[in-house]
Amino acid sequence: MSTTISEADALYQRVAHVIPRVEWATMVDDVQAILRLKAEKNAVILAHNYMTPEIYHGVADIVGDSLALAREATKVDADVIVLAGVHFMAETAKLLNPSKTVLIPDLRSGCSLAESVTPEDVRALRAAHPGVPVVTYVNTSAAVKAESDICCTSGNAVKIIESLGVDEVIMIPDQFLAANIGAQTGVKMIVHPGACEVHERFTPDDIETIREGNPGVTVIAHPECPRPVVLASDFSGSTAQMQDFIEKERPRKVALITECSMSDNIAQNHPEIDFIRPCNMCPHMKRNTLAAIRHSLETLTNVVELDPATAAPARQAIERMLAVK
Ligand code: 13P
Ligand code: SF4
């Protein structure tokens, strides 16, 4: 299939505001190959908001935060799902749509939160706090989800905690998300000492420096940031909630206290907004490259498989989450 100049130019327009044409020239061959392979293999690409713009705007079919990707995975009709994100997201897609072939472009795409907690840790917490419900962040392995009562994401954590109607929960593994949600809901949090290696590095001093250098800036922090960072910000929410806030409020100048690609992806459609970029990069998310996605589609690797013994209880914890309205 050959591509005309106007088709190639239309593709470039998807990223023109954030990728220089000279850089795009090194990417366009992979982009076109991926678009062709998707059609040949009846595949769709679900991409997290932290993908780089050439993936997010260039080849993805569905983009979103962890919650949106989980919801969308249940609706996929295609034979193959490529999860451009990290391993726990691919596992979640497989749990929710088990008849599909779910691929992860690079098996090493982990997450410091998912790696911080084991099923044994959950069992020990349960034994130490009998009767207290276990709420597990989706950033965990299926084996950890299998030990939990219900999952949550940063986008629905308040709603999930409130739906339980209790004054104490075990909320794992992100100590900072738990502190932020505990403060918002008034529910006592029993925590595990996990943290996101991207968000734990931001400090209140960073926010102060941004405000000093950029008068009038709106600061939006992800709730995986430490509590003092969230308190120093104007708004806190999941990556999708950050985007919704910007669409609604149209701030003139914004600092997103999160992973680097987030600002790039929104900036493409909002050249009028000045993005201050004090970002930290997630090395796991960045293992998703055009070359890795192309290879994944060409060879139909790496297939995500689940242990049937943990799949059923893990699915139940995610489905309970999705059922909370
Ligand atoms: P959300 O996109 O759900 O806000 O999560 C951020 C994150 O760090 C996922 O790895
Ligand atoms: Fe995990 Fe943090 Fe990377 Fe998200 S940004 S995948 S929470 S390490």
Predicted model pTM: 0.97
pLDDT in tens, 220-245: 999 999 999 999 999 999 999 999 99
pLDDT at 7 (0 to 100):
82
Q: Is the CB of 104 under 6 A from ligand 2?
A: no
Is residue 1 pLDDT above 80, yes or no?
no
Cα-to-chain-centroid distance, residue 95: 17
- pLDDT interval class at 11 (50, 70, 90): very high
The CATH architecture that domain 5-110+285-299 belongs to is 3-Layer(aba) Sandwich (3.40)
Same fold, 5-110+285-299 and 112-195: yes
- Give the HSE-up count for residue 306: Cα atoms under 13 Å, Cβ half-sphere: 31
Instruction: Output the DSSP codes for 254-291.
Output: EEEESBHHHHHHHHHH-TTSEEE---B--TTGGG--HH
Per-residue model confidence as pLDDT tens digits over 265-317: 999 999 999 999 988 999 999 999 999 999 999 999 999 999 999 999 999 99
According to CATH, the topology of domain 112-195 is Rossmann fold (3.40.50)
Mutate to test the pocket of ligand 1, among 49, 56, 88, 116 (most ligand atoms within 8 A of CB): 49
Please give the mean pLDDT across all residues of the chain. 97
Among 65, 196, 239, 257, the mutation site with the greatest number of ligand 2 atoms within 8 A of its Cβ is 196
End-to-end CA distance of the chain: 45
> Nearest CA to 279 among 15, 50, 18?
50
Condensed to tens digits (0 to 9), the pLDDT of residues 68-81 reads 999 999 999 999 99
| Backbone torsions φ then ψ of 150, nearest 5 degrees | -160, 150
Report the atom number in ligand 2 closest to the C-alpha of 282.
3
Predicted pLDDT of residue 316: 98
CATH number (3.30.1460.30, 1.10.357.10, 3.10.180.10, 3.40.50.10800) of 199-276 reads 3.40.50.10800
> How many angstroms is it from 70 CA to the middle of ligand 1?
12
Collapsed DSSP state (helix, strand, coil) of residue 186: coil
